[in-house]
Amino acid sequence: MLGIIGAMDEEVAKIKEHMTETTIEKIAGMEFHKGILEGKDVVTVRSGIGKVNAGICTQILIDHFGVNAVINTGIAGSLRGDIKIGDIVLSTDTVQHDMDASGFGYSYGQIPRLDTLSFPADEKLIDLAEKCCREVNPHINVFRGRVVSGDQFVSEQTKKDTIANIFEGFCTEMEGAAIGQVAYLNKIPYLVIRAISDNADDTAGIDYDTFEKQAIENSAKLMIAMTAAYEG
């Protein structure tokens, strides 16, 4: 069974519209929609915004629903000039940019007493997502790269530059690395899919409002196509 997480209702609404035989179970204030999508068993859920919500949601999907893979779909701010609004980033790995235990000798972003800085995404899911994206979203570019997460909406150029320089990230958002951490600890495959809604700089608020809908549309189309092709 495949677990599909979106932080906001808008990010999973179109996916739920395509589901059949749906039942709903409410746990920890989240509605888990279990059913069939493109012939596959899935559970789709709005986690809520932020790393804590995303982490709780992922663990519930694993423990209660027994999913064997998790995909997080949604939107993000670009950290690179060549990644434009509307493009899609597929996570090679994820890292938490607002974790700082450097005073204890850890690298920026590394969680103390974990054996890794970042959480590698599943190569098979990355390959499948890239193939499907080129088929259903031929008008945009798709990138493989690091997704960096923090409990912040990045909308300032200096903050963007700092995150981009330290972590060499492709985009920034607020959930992916928490999902990656839970998947890593539970040893299940995961992938973060992010459609770019803004440039994470001083224009981010304006860009987000303008391009959010199209970015979500691109991400949802990819998620539906991936599910149809998924063989896990």
31 is annotated as an active-site residue:
no
Give me the catalytic one of 173, 198, 207, 212.
Answer: 198
11 is catalytic: yes
> Containing domain of residue 198, as a range?
2-229
Q: 141: which 2 tokens?
A: 């570019």
CATH number of the domain where residue 89 is located = 3.40.50.1580
> pLDDT tens digits for the chain (232 residues)?
999 999 888 879 989 999 999 999 999 999 999 999 999 999 999 999 999 999 999 999 999 999 999 999 998 999 999 999 889 999 999 999 999 999 999 999 999 999 999 999 999 999 999 999 999 999 999 999 999 999 988 878 888 889 999 999 999 999 999 999 999 999 999 999 998 888 767 555 545 556 677 777 888 889 999 999 998 7
Tally of domains within the chain = 1
Catalytic residue among 11, 87, 207, 212: 11
Q: Do 7 and 47 meet the contact criterion of CB atoms below 8 Å apart? A: yes
**E-only strand ranges, the chain:** 2-6, 20-27, 30-37, 40-46, 69-78, 88-96, 119-120, 142-149, 171-173, 190-198
pTM confidence score: 0.93
Task: Please report, for residues 57, 157, 200, 228, the alpha-carbon distance to residue 7 in angstroms, rounded to integers and kept in the order given.
Answer: 10, 24, 18, 22
